[in-house]
Amino acid sequence: MTPVRFGWFSCIVIFVGLLRAHSQSAEPKSTQDWAAYGGNQEKTHYSALAQINKSNVKRLEVAWSYDTEETGGLQTSPIEIAGTLYGISPSQKLFALDAATGKLKWKFDSGVVGTQPDRGLGYWASPDNKDRRIIVGVMNFVYALDAGSGQPIASFGDHGRIDLREGLGRDVATAFIALTSPAVVYKDLFIVGGRLPETLPALPGDIRAYDVRTGKQRWSFHTIPHPGEFGYETWPKDAWQKSGSANNWTGMTVDQKTGILYAPTGSAVFDFYGGDRPGDNLFGDCELALNAETGERIWHFQGVHHDIWDRDFPAAPTLVSVTRDGKKVDALAQTTKQGFVYLFDRANGTPLFPVESHKYPASDLPGEVAAKEQPLPTKPAPYARQRLTEDMLTNRTPEAHQWALEQFRTYRSEGQFVPLSTKQNTIMFPGFDGGAEWGGPAFDPESGILYVNSNEMAWAVKLAENTGDLLNGKGIYQSQCTICHRDDMNGSPPLFPSLVGVRDRMTQEQISDRIRKGGGRMPGFPNLTAEEVNALVNYVSEGENKELSSGQPAPPLMRFRFSGYTRFHDPEGYPAVAPPWGTLNAINLNTGDYAWKIPLGEYPDLAAKGMKNTGSENYGGPIVTAGGLLFIGATNYDKKFRAFDKSTGELLWETTLPFSGNATPITYEINGRQYVVIAAGGGKDLKSPSGGVYVAFALKSSE
């Protein structure tokens, strides 16, 4: 047999070929980023990755963690692009990490201290990928940062930023707006809404598009219509100059193929009395379909006419495909605080399940004209209970039940859309935080199932008549503060802290700073003068009702005020309704039927006594993967991060985070390894410590 001989050139060729083969075998078979809030432009919260799956999820371990070394809580869902993770700290410093190791690449400090939630970031790249930008809100500013270095792009706006207070037709110096949800990007535009106050004065909730390169405004859609615009007749003639909000605070979704922007909006101010704004109030509480390039209206659907219950659409809509009569239909799914899912044809807004108008009672308040009818879908069935009755009260203990029963019998509980009154407390169920909230749902294109986490808390609330004016500390408190902290200053912990004894916890300077800048759910009040702030501080901290020195006639208070968010909790601080207090729901959008429904979360102290699976308040949404899994944190009290079988709802894995994971997780793959990351910062439960830690999980390496 003749031996095979290789020359030096042949050896090099073989060696290079072996190197190539080794390199190719080491490359991941598939790579997927999480390049947009919600995972993709459709905001489905879905990933095609399946390395982590039902058979191995129990092998998850912490791959890395990044501690921002800040307190204050986190609601941020980061993004990951080409191996870099971009996130936000509790004080709204921006940073970039190596997404495989958690090692810091850069950090950007704008010098502006964030006091509002900041739930995510936007990303844009030029067609040649040479210009890559992070678009991010820090309070009222929007920054364009170089994705590689974190430096502001000087040619954008004013040395790298624009001010959202400008261009709204109101006084910039006294205006408050914060970008709490990320901008959406379409071609060379980014489009934003903003968080606004829930009391007057407030800016109008215009939806605005800006040039991503220069920061110049390209178009604006007036959610409080100007003279001659569609919907103008549904407001008082001067509403566009005086009313406020009807804003998009939840984020938006753009269909990149059709160029249609879908923007859900919230209520106009004042949230609970609309005597100064008679009419249906378009485009408050609407699903808006706009031309993303021009801002022109294509279609709209108003979910609540003349909202006096703060029933905002709470999350960006999800673009889905469903089967109707054997054909695929491009649709849009919108969750609500009330516990319903609306499903629309994306092109024209036609409901894919019938929507029926229901009649509701009139208001007994002078000047208030409540809408006679409200539209509700006939399917799917609501994922939250709709009317609280005696048989649904807590049985946690006999004493708690008896207390709840006695209280309940003094309340009015007639279901949805009952106008608030000054005569007795009205039950809001589900409460002001849902039903569904800003975390948004997840959609599995494989099965057509939409996953929605929901709260089931009841609130007992009423209005009170104002008799004073705004020229003293008490009047200012009633006009601006009772909505959250109540007339008696007891608040509604943990979401709305008590102000009783605040002087023992904060100096007058600190109280003044918080009034001006806000914090957590509290907006800032730059509209108040120094003298007004001083009078308010004295009233809150010392109980002094200091008169202002103004020689001008006292401006009147609005006729009625909200007497405060009051949860229907038993004397020990637990919900006074029977569990579940929070749920996770799987809804088949092809049929409108439920695949499964389970409690989500628990109270550790109750679980230790054997009362498990009660469900709990939860904020932040789920993600779903091709690996058969649904990941979700969200729960307020147990700090758990969980993985469920997406087909059955069976719990497959859980771990305890350093703080509650009140944020939506993400997943991505680098060098053949899949990671799942969640921001753990807490902050929604004021009784528990807060922080700011990003935790990444991956499969434990084989021994």
Does residue 551 surpass a pLDDT of 60? Answer: no
User: pLDDT digit string (tens) for 306-346?
Assistant: 999 999 999 999 999 999 989 999 999 999 999 999 999 99
- CA angle (325 as vertex; 319, 331 as ends), nearest 5: 10
CB 393 within 8 A of CB 576: yes
**pLDDT of amino acid 76:** 98
Domain segments of the chain as ranges: 1-75+579-703, 467-557
CB 662 within 8 A of CB 467: no
Tell me how far apart the alpha carbons of residues 278 and 299 are, in angstroms, rounded to a whole number.
23
**pLDDT of amino acid 682:** 93
478, amino acid identity: Q
Does residue 29 surpass a pLDDT of 50? Answer: no
CB 44 within 8 A of CB 448: no
Q: HEC profile for 536-554?
A: HHHHHHHCCCCECCCCCCC
Can you tell me whether residue 323 is helix, strand or coil?
strand
**pLDDT of amino acid 123:** 98
Residue 241 CB neighbour total at 10 angstroms: 12
319, amino acid identity: L
Residue 571: which residues within 8 A CB-CB, separation 6 or more? Answer: 400, 403
CB 587 within 8 A of CB 449: yes
User: pLDDT digit string (tens) for 638-680?
Assistant: 999 999 999 999 999 999 999 999 999 999 999 999 999 999 9
From residue 568, give the alpha-carbon distance in Å to each of 419, 428, 432, 612.
18, 9, 12, 21
Residue showing tokens 């909200």: 562
Band of the pLDDT at 602, cuts 50, 70, 90? very high
What's the average model confidence in pLDDT over 487-511? 81
How would CATH label the architecture of 467-557?
Orthogonal Bundle (1.10)
Does residue 554 surpass a pLDDT of 60? Answer: no
User: pLDDT digit string (tens) for 343-376?
Assistant: 999 999 999 999 999 999 999 999 999 999 999 9
Chain length of the chain: 703
Does residue 13 surpass a pLDDT of 60? Answer: no
**pLDDT of amino acid 542:** 80
Q: Which residue has the higher pLDDT, 687 or 103?
A: 103
CB 47 within 8 A of CB 625: yes
The CATH class given to the 1-75+579-703 domain equals: mainly beta
CB 539 within 8 A of CB 531: no
Does residue 587 surpass a pLDDT of 80? Answer: yes
What's the average model confidence in pLDDT over 674-696? 92
User: pLDDT digit string (tens) for 394-434?
Assistant: 999 999 999 999 999 999 999 999 999 999 999 999 999 99
Compute the half-sphere exposure of residue 441: CA atoms within 13 Å on the CB side of its CA: 34
Residue 478: which residues within 8 A CB-CB, separation 6 or more? Answer: 466, 468, 487, 557, 561
Does residue 439 surpass a pLDDT of 50? Answer: yes
Residue 214: which residues within 8 A CB-CB, separation 6 or more? Answer: 155, 156, 157
Q: Roughly how many angstroms between the first and final C-alpha of the chain, as a whole number?
A: 45
For 696, phi then psi, to 5°, come to -110, 135
Q: Of 463, 394, 483, which Cα lies nearest the Cα of 199?
A: 483
Band of the pLDDT at 564, cuts 50, 70, 90? confident
**Percent of the chain residues past pLDDT 90, beyond the cut:** 78
Cis peptide before 3 (omega within 30 of 0): no
What's the average model confidence in pLDDT over 562-576? 93
Does residue 12 surpass a pLDDT of 50? Answer: no
Q: Which helix (H) or strand (E) holds 209?
A: strand 207-211
Residue 398: which residues within 8 A CB-CB, separation 6 or more? Answer: none
Does residue 20 surpass a pLDDT of 60? Answer: no
**pLDDT of amino acid 552:** 57
Q: Which residue has the higher pLDDT, 214 or 701?
A: 214
For 12, phi then psi, to 5°, come to -65, -45
Residue 467: which residues within 8 A CB-CB, separation 6 or more? Answer: none
Residue 346 CB neighbour total at 10 angstroms: 23
Name the β-bridge partners of 644: 630, 651
Q: Of 128, 264, 122, which Cα lies nearest the Cα of 185?
A: 122
What value does the CA radius of gyration of the chain take, rounded to a whole number of Å? Answer: 26
**pLDDT of amino acid 27:** 37
Tell me how far apart the alpha carbons of residues 163 and 215 are, in angstroms, rounded to a whole number.
10
Tell me how far apart the alpha carbons of residues 175 and 161 are, in angstroms, rounded to a whole number.
18
**pLDDT of amino acid 14:** 38
Name the β-bridge partners of 451: 442, 586
Does residue 6 surpass a pLDDT of 70? Answer: no
Residue 175: which residues within 8 A CB-CB, separation 6 or more? Answer: 140, 165, 168, 203, 526, 527
CB 352 within 8 A of CB 329: yes
Sheet strands (E) in 247-314: 253-255, 260-264, 286-291, 297-302
Of 314-318, 489-493, 588-592, give the lowest mean pLDDT range: 489-493
Average pLDDT in the chain: 92
CB 231 within 8 A of CB 292: no
Does residue 260 surpass a pLDDT of 50? Answer: yes
458, amino acid identity: A
Does residue 128 surpass a pLDDT of 90? Answer: yes
**pLDDT of amino acid 47:** 98
CB 204 within 8 A of CB 223: yes
Band of the pLDDT at 553, cuts 50, 70, 90? low
Sheet strands (E) in 415-551: 426-428, 442-444, 449-455, 459-461, 463-465
Tell me how far apart the alpha carbons of residues 457 and 34 are, in angstroms, rounded to a whole number.
33
Q: What pTM, to 2 d.p., does this model score?
A: 0.90
Distance, CA of 462 to chain centre: 25
Tell me how far apart the alpha carbons of residues 363 and 272 are, in angstroms, rounded to a whole number.
11
Of 53-57, 499-503, 655-659, 697-701, give the lowest mean pLDDT range: 499-503
Q: Of 582, 585, 628, 316, which Cα lies nearest the Cα of 444?
A: 628
Q: What is the DSSP string of 123-136?
A: EEE-TTSSSEEEEE
Can you tell me whether residue 113 is helix, strand or coil?
coil
Q: Which residue has the higher pLDDT, 506 or 95?
A: 95
Would you state the structure tokens that stand for residue 391, as one six-digit string? 């048989």
Of 19-23, 442-446, 650-654, give the lowest mean pLDDT range: 19-23
